[in-house]
């Protein structure tokens, strides 16, 4: 009885008790890739018992445990009298009659399991070999799925070394974190032995077994880097290999610490739930994140690929060498890897102006963090299955944007020096956010934690309201919430602003709720003509948050907003600032702080805009306004589309459909975005051109009339015209998908297949997404592209198919996309109530936060719809703008 009570005492905890610490794992896995798709294994864990105990508690999930034996350092054998596998706590509790004394010992466990079907733990995936489907196996352990492969202390702070061996069919390649030291062939089994790893967390252990071709290169430090690709496609790994080699060299210098392993492998696997995973020395990727095909990959994909490779390589230091102590500090991994991947990409490809595009990351963070249902960067984790949900826009995007803001405040040199010291000090160890702030404070002399705690320990961020009275600027901070509620957050905000010119600028820390700043010296240092009152009013614009380097929004009083509009029309501002003004204005409009009329007037100032990041922000705002207006002011939807088309025609006519020799990177990026927008908004000529070019493509798959960048626009045009009575284009596109032999083409078609406005067509497309013809991992592309006209159709479909979806995809990363991409586009309180009611009996920790945030976004839009309907002057303004040339 006493023993049972003791076991009960360990239930329901999110962390393991710490009376035993693992030091080394000897792991031997035996793989059966026949129809059984199973594996068995033996693990010998060298542990240090730090407190006398009758219990050993570690993690295990969906494993069958057969034999358990503990051997003390004195050779004494202990067999447990009870072995309890607890599925709720994902734990293995071993109960011993006799207490295990303090000291060293080896815990041996024999176990077996079926290869996972939901792309986590040790999972099965398939590849085609000469028309035949064959099985392979891959691991995905982050965050807490090493326990599905072998019993272990599956927490990031419980680091150990790993010596791994794998039994595989002789024709397959086996890879792990470390180089192979030996192979033995015995009949139909090949045993592959790997070198012992340095100390690392369980979530970074990896094994891949399959058939690959590879290419290789070596860094200047002699590290062997390989890109493993599907057979016959190794040349498609060249771009990623090149980026990996250069970033390894770059980070070794930047962090003043060499890459710690003798090799780095990158593997393209055919089924993968995320984009890529930074396993120590063995990075796994979706195929389309590693394989670059100049004919079939878009310019945008090439750019993303460089950032993703740099991100995963950066993790070898930030995450693998120095690891967060617990998942509550996940941002130390993901925020830093995101920020430093942009830094590396900027060094390798300066012509891409990637820091300007980083603003898309910042905006993603600002949008998510404006929800009352957001969470702090440093977040409490109560349940293992809820960890996955914090791999989100807060950890990645807000995390990286806050580092970018700190970089702007401290300076590049101090930040680099501090990060080098941090990596050296915590190499092979675990760290918390406070450890990083401590190192930064030592190096900079600034009390970094005082400044940064508000940004990482509290959720949310401020909107800075700016007013001008004579030569005084008034700044006031309040918490920005998209719901229109008033939060009580307060931050130490690094404010930057320019006055009429980038030559006249000022920086200060806003440490209180409000502050007045005298700008007489800036005005007096200005040109003489600015003393003229009229010219002063028009030309002396005030732009706060220069280059959008700070993680906050700005709300200008009307007269300052009017001056900025003029500055945009006169092209006086940098692209980053034009982006920021529009982004902030849209956010203020959505929260009903500003009218749609004022937003449309501002958008009109961007008519002659050509800068990539500004035009794409303009397009995003157009999409969002169209989606909401179809609910709020359906009678004006077509007029709004006419206005938006007129805004985009200037850059569209300059770019056309075909690239020109010597065209820069942004021409190709922008052409794709603009053509897709014009087709979506129903621009007749672009739609007709798109359909004509699609017909040419059907007759000639290699036609130069549709490049990788412009095909998306043609696919949208086909689907916008598809209906039950007009199926020809839709069926042609489906056949094109079935015949496509590149992952790039399949991804592209899936992205646009659901853009039809016809409900019957959309239902057919959604059912196609669930079919065997679409890999589970690829569902994310299709769901994201569902047309706004069919949002309610998609919601009904989700309800009808929920049980099937849950069974097919499991409660993991892919499931969150169904919730996010189908629930969030709804925009009425009635629908929000419906969603709440439906999921009340279907709660799951893997989707709870995503669901809460999605419902909140629906209610925010419902409020905006009502506000829009009350705008008196809107109709006249929209009709006037629609008629403007």
- Order of strands across the sheet that contains 213-218: 213-218, 224-229, 263-269, 282-286, 276-277
Q: Are 14 and 144 in contact (CB under 8 A)?
A: no
Distances (CA, A) of 783 to 450, 735, 821, 860: 42, 20, 6, 22
Helix ranges, 462-595 (H): 520-524, 533-539, 558-569, 575-590
User: In the beta sheet, which residues pair with residue 276?
Assistant: 285
Map residue 50 onto helix, strand or coil: coil
How far apart are alpha carbons 508 and 522 in whole angstroms?
Answer: 14
DSSP state of 200: B
Question: 718 CB contacts (<8 Å, ≥6 apart)?
Answer: 690, 691, 694, 729, 730, 732, 733
> What is the rounded radius of gyration, in angstroms, for the C-alpha atoms of the chain?
28
How many helices (DSSP H) and strands (DSSP E) are in the chain? Answer: 30, 29
Q: Which of 102, 41, 34, 45 is nearest to 70 (CA)?
A: 45
Q: How far apart are CA 850 and CA 76, in angstroms?
A: 50
Q: Which residues pair with 542 in a beta bridge?
A: 499
User: Which tokens hold the place of 394?
Assistant: 């807060």
Q: How far apart (Å, rounded) are the C-alpha atoms in residues 92 and 57? A: 6
- Bridge partners of residue 58, in order along the sequence: 92
Active-site hit among 312, 547, 611, 745: 312
* Beta strands in 439-480, from DSSP E residues, in sequence order: 462-469, 472-479
Cis-peptide, bond into residue 143, ω within 30° of zero: yes
312 included as an active-site residue: yes
Q: What is the distance between the alpha carbons of residues 492 and 515, in angstroms, rounded to a whole number?
A: 12
Token reading at 268: 């393209």
Q: Which residue has the tokens 């240090």?
A: 48
Instruction: Please name the helix (run of DSSP H) or strand (run of DSSP E) that holds residue 132, with its range, or none.
Output: strand 132-140
**DSSP-assigned letter for residue 174:** E
Query: How far apart (Å, rounded) are the C-alpha atoms in residues 502 and 100?
Result: 70
Say which residue the tokens 């590879």 belong to: 214
Q: How far apart are CA 34 and CA 836, in angstroms?
A: 43
The answer for 342, left when phi > 0, alpha when psi is -120 to 50, beta otherwise, is alpha
CB 630 within 8 A of CB 789: yes
Positions annotated as catalytic residues are 312
């Amino acid at each position: 009885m006493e023993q049972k009570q003791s076991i009960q005492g360990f239930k329901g905890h999110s962390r393991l008790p710490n009376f035993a610490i693992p030091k080394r794992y000897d792991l031997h896995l035996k793989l059966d890739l026949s129809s059984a798709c199973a594996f068995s294994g033996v693990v010998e864990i060298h542990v240090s018992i730090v407190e006398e105990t009758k219990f050993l508690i570690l993690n295990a999930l969906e494993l069958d445990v057969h034999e358990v034996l503990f051997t003390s350092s004195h050779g004494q054998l202990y067999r447990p009298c009870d072995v309890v596998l607890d599925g709720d706590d994902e734990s293995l509790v071993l109960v011993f009659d006799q207490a295990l004394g303090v000291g060293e010992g080896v815990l041996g466990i024999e176990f077996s399991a079926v290869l996972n079907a939901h792309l986590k733990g040790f999972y099965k995936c398939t590849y085609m070999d000469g028309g035949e489907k064959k099985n392979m196996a891959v691991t995905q352990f982050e965050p807490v799925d090493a326990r599905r492969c072998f019993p272990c202390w599956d927490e990031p702070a419980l680091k150990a070394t790993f010596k791994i061996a794998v039994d595989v069919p002789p024709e397959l390649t086996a890879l792990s974190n470390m180089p192979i030291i030996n192979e033995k062939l015995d009949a139909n089994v090949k045993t592959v032995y790997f070198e012992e790893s340095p100390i690392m967390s369980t979530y970074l252990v990896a094994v891949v077994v399959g058939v690959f071709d590879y290419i290789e290169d070596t860094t200047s430090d002699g590290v062997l880097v390989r890109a493993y690709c599907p057979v016959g496609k190794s040349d498609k790994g060249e771009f990623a290999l090149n980026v990996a080699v250069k970033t390894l060299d770059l980070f070794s210098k930047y962090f003043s610490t060499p890459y710690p392993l003798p090799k780095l492998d990158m593997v393209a696997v055919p089924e993968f739930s995320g984009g890529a995973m930074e396993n120590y020395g063995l990075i796994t990727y979706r195929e389309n994140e590693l394989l670059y095909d100049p004919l079939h990959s878009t310019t945008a994909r090439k750019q993303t690929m460089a950032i993703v490779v740099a991100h995963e390589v950066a993790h070898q230091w930030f995450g693998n060498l120095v690891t967060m102590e617990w998942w509550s500090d996940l941002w130390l991994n993901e925020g830093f890897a995101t920020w430093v991947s942009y830094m590396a990409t900027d060094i390798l490809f300066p012509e891409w102006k990637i820091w300007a595009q980083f603003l898309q990351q910042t905006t993603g963070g600002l949008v998510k963090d404006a929800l009352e249902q957001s969470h702090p960067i440093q977040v409490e984790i109560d349940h293992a299955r809820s960890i996955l949900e914090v791999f989100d826009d807060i950890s990645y995007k807000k995390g990286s944007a806050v580092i970018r803001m700190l970089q702007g405040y401290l300076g590049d040199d101090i930040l680099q020096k501090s990060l080098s010291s941090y990596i050296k000090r915590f190499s092979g160890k675990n760290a918390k956010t406070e450890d990083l702030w401590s190192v930064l404070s030592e190096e900079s002399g600034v009390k970094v934690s005082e400044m940064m705690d508000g940004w990482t320990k509290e959720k949310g961020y401020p909107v800075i309201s700016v007013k001008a009275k004579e030569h005084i600027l008034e700044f006031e901070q309040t918490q920005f919430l998209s719901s229109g509620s008033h939060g009580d957050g307060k931050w130490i905000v690094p404010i930057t602003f320019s006055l009429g010119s980038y030559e006249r600028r000022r920086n200060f820390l806003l440490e209180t709720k409000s502050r007045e700043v005298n700008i007489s010296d800036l005005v007096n240092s200005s040109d003489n003509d600015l003393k003229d009152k009229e010219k002063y009013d028009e030309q002396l614009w005030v732009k706060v948050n220069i280059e959008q380097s700070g993680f906050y929004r700005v709300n200008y009083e009307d007269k300052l907003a009017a001056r900025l509009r003029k500055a945009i029309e006169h092209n006086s501002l940098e692209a980053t600032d034009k982006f920021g003004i529009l982004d902030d204005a849209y956010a203020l409009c959505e929260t009903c702080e500003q009218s749609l009329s004022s937003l449309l007037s501002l958008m009109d100032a961007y008519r002659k805009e050509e800068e990539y990041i500004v035009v794409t922000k303009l397009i995003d705002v157009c999409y969002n306004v169209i989606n909401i207006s179809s609910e709020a002011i359906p009678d004006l939807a077509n007029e709004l589309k006419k206005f938006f088309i007129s805004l985009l025609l200037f850059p569209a006519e300059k770019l056309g459909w075909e690239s020109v020799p010597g065209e820069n990177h942004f021409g190709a990026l922008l052409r794709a975005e603009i053509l897709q927008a014009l087709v979506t908004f129903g621009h007749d000529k672009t739609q007709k051109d798109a359909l004509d070019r699609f017909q040419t493509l059907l007759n000639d798959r290699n036609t130069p009339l549709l490049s990788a960048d412009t095909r998306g626009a043609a696919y949208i045009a086909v689907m916008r015209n598809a209906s039950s009575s007009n199926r020809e284009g839709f069926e042609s596109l489906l056949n094109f998908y079935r015949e496509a032999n590149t992952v790039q083409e399949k991804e592209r078609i899936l992205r646009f297949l659901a853009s039809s406005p016809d409900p019957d067509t959309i239902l057919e497309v959604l059912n196609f997404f669930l079919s065997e013809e679409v890999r589970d991992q690829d569902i994310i592309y299709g769901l994201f592209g569902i047309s706004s006209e069919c949002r309610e159709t998609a919601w009904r479909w989700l309800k009808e198919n929920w049980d099937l979806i849950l069974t097919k995809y499991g409660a993991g990363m892919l499931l969150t996309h169904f919730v996010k991409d189908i629930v969030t586009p709804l925009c009425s309180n009635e629908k929000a109530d419906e969603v709440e009611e439906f999921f009340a009996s279907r709660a799951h920790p893997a989707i709870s936060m995503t669901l809460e945030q999605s419902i909140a976004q629906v209610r925010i839009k419902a409020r905006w719809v009502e506000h829009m309907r009350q705008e008196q002057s809107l109709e006249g303004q929209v009709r006037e703008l629609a008629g403007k040339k």
